[in-house]
Amino acid sequence: MKSFFNFLQDIGSIMYVGGILSHIIIGANLGHLDPQTAYTVAIYKEISAYILILPGLGLKIFSDLYLYYSYDVKPNYMKVKFVLITFLTINAFFFLVPMMPELVVLAQESVDAGAFTPEFLASAHTEGLIGMSNALPLLLEILLTSFKPKLFGERKA
């Protein structure tokens, strides 16, 4: 049964990380060429957040909880993962996901105005900063999932 939940964890990671990487790549390459392109990118980011990022995050959390409670002795790397995934979840649900529809509306306003509005540029900048704050916690979470290291004195026991 653990192997099934490890598989779910891997699928969740692929969806979550893949969605985030696609946001970074499309934003860096096409995000601010012109208002119409920015509008299309904003729509893409919103849809991919709902299709890849949130379901992937959900699978990761679900499988992590199952795996954590399946251990008799709780490994410390799992405890650290929960701290990291809590940060990533708060970032996703309280900041980034609510910003996606707002960015679409602001991008449409920029299209209508024929130039980027200051509101759109400010929101896009904020979304980028919040997104960047995910980089280190996400990398650490992936490394912990991959290598399952013994942490904080577990080797002595």
What is the pTM assigned to this prediction?
Answer: 0.88
153: left (phi over 0), alpha (psi -120 to 50) or beta: left
pLDDT of residue 28: 84
Q: What would the mean pLDDT of 66-85 be, rounded to a whole number?
A: 93
- Contacts (Cβ under 8 Å, ≥6 apart) of 24: 131
114 token code pair? 């024929």
Q: How confident is the model over 21-40, as pLDDT tens digits?
A: 898 899 888 877 899 999 99
pLDDT level of residue 16 (50, 70, 90 thresholds): very high
- With pLDDT > 90 as the criterion, what percentage of the chain qualifies? 76
Q: Where are the alpha helices (DSSP H) in 71-154?
A: 76-90, 97-113, 118-132, 135-147
Please give the average per-residue pLDDT across 63-88, as a whole number. 93
Q: What is the model's pLDDT at position 131?
A: 86
Q: What is the pLDDT of residue 31?
A: 72
Give per-residue pLDDT as tens, 97-150.
899 999 999 999 999 999 999 999 999 999 989 988 998 999 999 999 889 999
pLDDT grade for 2, boundaries at 50, 70 and 90:
confident
Q: What is the pLDDT of residue 156?
A: 66
In a 10 Å sphere around its CB, with 0-12 CB exposed, 13-18 middle and 19+ buried, how is residue 8 labelled? middle
Q: Which of 153, 19, 149, 143 is nearest to 84 (CA)?
A: 143
